[in-house]
């Protein structure tokens, strides 16, 4: 299961409100190999696929494909405001190592394919 903080849910709703196709879209959390620690997170607005795990939280639908689900189960998506701009952050209990960028991680069982940071 993946959840959203109240701030994150409000931000996603705000982003969706600006879209004409908002009724068909949901928030997709996905993982791909790469990043300094081995895996990176991605967030996108997308439509559900047949094999997606689908969660509802704070009035927002969250989609996670089966491959990514094993890495992010139990994660919480937050939105952080900052002086130099804000952004979404993933609090992932499965991550045993993360990078300073906040979007790269490694689990206890899988290393992914780390890349050099630019």
Averaged pLDDT, groups of 10, the chain, 118 residues long: 96 94 93 84 96 96 97 96 84 84 72 63
pLDDT attached to residue 37: 77
pLDDT attached to residue 114: 61
> Is residue 64 classed exposed, middle or buried when 0-12, 13-18 and 19+ CB atoms within 10 A define those classes?
buried
- Choosing among 2.60.300.12, 3.30.70.2740, 3.30.300.30, 3.40.50.1240, the CATH entry for 3-107 is 2.60.300.12
pLDDT attached to residue 51: 97
1 vs 67: CA distance, rounded Å:
14
pTM for the model: 0.87
């Amino acid at each position: 299961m993946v959840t959203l903080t109240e701030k994150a849910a409000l931000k996603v709703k705000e982003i969706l409100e600006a879209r004409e196709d908002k009724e068909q879209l949901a928030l997709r959390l996905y993982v791909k190999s790469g990043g300094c620690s081995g895996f990176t997170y991605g967030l996108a607005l997308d439509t559900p696929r047949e094999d997606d795990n689908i969660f509802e939280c704070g009035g927002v639908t969250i989609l996670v494909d089966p491959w990514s689900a094993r890495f992010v189960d139990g994660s919480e998506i937050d939105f952080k405001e900052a002086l130099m701009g804000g952004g979404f952050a993933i609090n992932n209990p499965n991550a045993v190592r993360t990078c300073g960028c906040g979007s790269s991680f490694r689990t206890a069982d899988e290393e992914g394919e780390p890349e050099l940071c630019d």
